[in-house]
Amino acid sequence: MKAILVRRTGDASVLRLEEVDDPVPGPGEAVVRIETAGVNFIDVYQRTGLYARPLPFTPGSEGAGEVVALGDGVTHVRIGDRVVSETMRGTYAELAVAPAERLVRIPAAVSTDVAAAVMLQGLTAHYLTTSTYPLAAGDWCVVHAAAGGVGLLLCQLGAKKGAHVIGTASTSEKQARAREAGAEHAIGYAGFVAEVKRLTGGPGARVVYDSVGKTTFNDSLDALAPRGMLVSFGQSSGAVGPIDPLVLSRKGSLFLTRPTLAHYVPTHEELVARSAELFGWVEGGAIDVRVDRTFPLAEAAEAHRALESRQTSGKVLVKPSPGRR
pLDDT-derived band at 282, boundaries 50, 70, 90: very high
pLDDT of residue 312: 77
pLDDT of residue 324: 45
pLDDT of residue 313: 75
* Closest among 309, 311, 313, 304 to 37, alpha carbons compared: 304
Q: What is the mean pLDDT of residues 281-303?
A: 93
* Closest among 271, 313, 236, 285 to 123, alpha carbons compared: 271
pLDDT of residue 323: 47
| Predicted confidence (pLDDT) at residue 322 exceeds the cutoff of 60 | no
Peptide bond into 27 cis (omega under 30): no
CA angle 13–18–20, rounded 5-degree value:
140
Q: Which CATH superfamily is domain 2-119+271-319 in?
A: Medium-chain alcohol dehydrogenases, catalytic domain (3.90.180.10)
pLDDT of residue 325: 39
Q: Any alpha helices (H) in the chain, and if so which ranges?
A: 41-48, 112-127, 149-160, 172-180, 192-199, 217-222, 245-250, 268-284, 300-308
Do the first three CATH levels of 2-119+271-319 and 136-258 match, i.e. the same topology? Answer: no
Q: What is the mean pLDDT of residues 261-290?
A: 94
pLDDT tens for each residue of 154-169 = 999 999 999 999 999 9
| Predicted confidence (pLDDT) at residue 219 exceeds the cutoff of 80 | yes
Q: Where do the structural domains in the chain lie, given as residue ranges?
A: 2-119+271-319, 136-258
| Predicted confidence (pLDDT) at residue 221 exceeds the cutoff of 80 | yes
Phi-psi region of 144 (alpha: psi -120 to 50; beta: other; left: phi over 0): beta
pLDDT-derived band at 125, boundaries 50, 70, 90: very high
Percent of the chain topping pLDDT 90: 87
pTM summary value = 0.90
Between CA 143 and CA 62 the distance in angstroms is 23
State the Rg of the chain over Cα. 20
- Helix/strand/coil for 12: helix
Q: Which CATH superfamily is domain 136-258 in?
A: NAD(P)-binding Rossmann-like Domain (3.40.50.720)
